[in-house]
Amino acid sequence: MNYKTRTICVAFGLVFLFGFFTNSSYSQMITGVWKGKINKKKTEVKIVQKGDSLLGTSYYYESENNYRRYSIKGYFDPNTNQAVWWDDQLLEEKNGKLNVNTPGKIPYLLSADFNCPGSDKMFLDGDAALKNKKESIQGPVHLEKTGETVFPDEWDFIIDNYTAGASDPYYIDSVASIAGVPVEIPGEKIIQPKQNDLPVKRNEPAKANSTPVQKAETVKVPDTPKQEQKLTIKKTIEEEFKIREKVIAADIPLTGDSIELRFYDNAEIDGDSISLFLNNKLIFQHIRLTAAAYTIKLPVNELNENNELVMVAENLGSIPPNTSYMLAIVNAKRYEAILRSTENSSAVIRLTKPKDQTNNAIKN
């Protein structure tokens, strides 16, 4: 039994990619509810895996009535079993009557190893750092996967039905578009309905023998920001490519047989991922930028006289914008460029063959 559990633990990333799930394999997924402590504070984290990205929510709490809730973003590396996520946006905070401070005042950047020690035990162990200072370790992370939640919310549907089709990116993005909206403003009381339709209490007519009272008017409960949020469908990367402004970042001459391009994260490693388009066609997708190079090679003879290679940001990581350091090697010559991509713009590298080389190719 222990051997089987360890085997599933190592292989669960591959199982996820192929979309083959069983009840036992699901228990080994990082998707789920995790409870424990982060920097000695009671925490519940709901993690949902979409490709190599992580989404969800985190609750730092003292009780059910005293907590802070953040949306989270991150990524998971199945090769190293390391999960990295950060508190992205403060969604909600609630103070108990007897509590002065609400836990979770400082957003964190978390890095943890996914451990499967056996007996269906699943742990995330690592360190919590300041969100914008990875080297500023604040305390340990120790979370255990559980089937129970203290704070029911929108992500429960995805987690409970993950193996029954809710792992589809469409459903995950739909829930994210709702759950990622701030639903409470500190100092103001916000009504958070569990369903779409709010029941409005009707005033009963006064009895014949009762004391006359002024006729009450029906009061409509105002919609909260959460209710007003319409279900939106996230644009595909091809759609983002078409609508974003193209900004020239580098011009590289094409000589020799091939061009080698190496992409790195130029700043702190924070989960940046990109797609690459060559002459308006998507050629690579879900490239996660790290300190290690992501390398591609393009044969020069298959390229046009004038070419455009466009870097489109799939996300902005925890420290916008999405910035990549690119090293190009052409015929033993090196070219360097810093590529920046945002939600509104993409970086363009122009690849051009010298006229004499183009003419020789035509003659041949």
pLDDT confidence of residue 106: 87
C-alpha count within 13 angstroms, C-beta hemisphere, residue 109 = 16
Length of the chain: 364
| SS3 state of residue 227 | helix
pLDDT confidence of residue 329: 93
From the first residue on, what is the mean pLDDT of each consecutive set of 10 residues in the chain (364 residues)? Answer: 40 39 53 94 94 91 90 88 90 73 85 81 91 85 93 90 85 78 38 39 43 44 43 72 92 93 75 88 87 88 94 73 84 89 90 74 50
Measured CA angle at 18 (ends 17, 22), to 5 deg: 100
Measured CA angle at 121 (ends 150, 159), to 5 deg: 45
DSSP-based helix, strand, coil % in the chain, nearest 5: 20, 45, 40
Tokens encoding 246: 């193209």
CATH number among 1.10.357.10, 3.30.390.10, 3.40.50.300, 2.40.128.30, domain 2-179: 2.40.128.30
The number of beta carbons lying within 10 Å of the beta carbon of residue 309 is: 25
Which candidate, 166, 121, 167, 168, places its Cα nearest to that of 147? Answer: 121
Taking the C-alpha atoms of residue 313 and residue 131, their distance in angstroms, rounded to an integer, is 21
Which candidate, 93, 289, 109, 264, places its Cα nearest to that of 182? Answer: 93
Task: Classify domain 237-363 by CATH architecture.
Answer: Sandwich (2.60)
pLDDT confidence of residue 56: 93
pLDDT confidence of residue 183: 37
Domain ranges for the chain: 2-179, 237-363
